[in-house]
Amino acid sequence: MESQIELQYEDVQGKSNAKMVRFIGDLDATNVETVIEKTFNLLNEGFVNIVADFEKLRYVNSTGLGILLHFSKSAKEKGGSFKIANVNENVYEIIEIIGATSLLEIYDELDEAVESLG
């Protein structure tokens, strides 16, 4: 039984190479493979700018954070970006403690993250 995580996708207006992805549930060692597969499908389809909405991401552990760093690196290598918005304070604390705030592009609001795509 793996933890429940659901990814919902939405187009970003005026940005044909961008997708907004809502993370809903818990991101942990039991479901990272599924999330890797789905996110890399997006990157490989040409959606190299990903805005991840974490409003409903309840939990993330070190394994989940590891793949977020991996997404960020891979998106950059493809000329894009992986941006995160609406992080709840518990999840933000984990990102902060592990020292990943400077490696991930984190925004308070979804609109800010989308606008930063330029």
Partner 1 sequence: MAKVEIEFTPSKESPEVAILTFSGELDSGSIAQIGRSFDLMLEGNYLFAVADMARVTLISSAALGELMGCRTRLLERGGDLVFAGLGIGIREKLTAMDANKVFKFFSDVRSAMNAYNWEYHDRSEGLELSFPSLLKFVPPVRQFASRIARQKGYGNRDSFRIETIVDEICNNAVEHGVEADGGDIDLNMKIDRKKIEIKVSNTSDPDKIDSLKEISKSLFVPQMLTEESKRGRGLALVKMLSNDFEIEYSDIGTCVHVTKLREE
Which residues of this protein are in contact with partner 1, per CB under 8 A? 1-3, 26, 28-30, 59, 61-63, 65-67, 69-70, 72-73, 89-90, 93-94, 97-100, 103
Ramachandran angles phi, psi of 25, nearest 5°? 120, -145
Cβ of residue 103: shortest distance to partner 1, in angstroms? 6
Give yes or no for a contact between 75 and 49, defined as CB atoms under 8 angstroms apart.
yes
Taking the least distance from each CB to partner 1, the nearer of 16 and 102 is: 102
Give yes or no for a contact between 73 and 81, defined as CB atoms under 8 angstroms apart.
no
Taking the least distance from each CB to partner 1, the nearer of 32 and 110 is: 32
Cβ of residue 42: shortest distance to partner 1, in angstroms? 18
Taking the least distance from each CB to partner 1, the nearer of 73 and 115 is: 73
Q: Which amino acid is at 105?
A: E
Cβ of residue 84: shortest distance to partner 1, in angstroms? 14
Question: Exposure pattern of 26-40 as b/e (b: 16+ CB <10 Å)?
Answer: bbbeebbeebeeebe
Three-state DSSP class for residue 47? coil
Taking the least distance from each CB to partner 1, the nearer of 59 and 107 is: 59
Cβ of residue 95: shortest distance to partner 1, in angstroms? 10
- Measured between its terminal Cα atoms, the distance across the chain in Å is 41
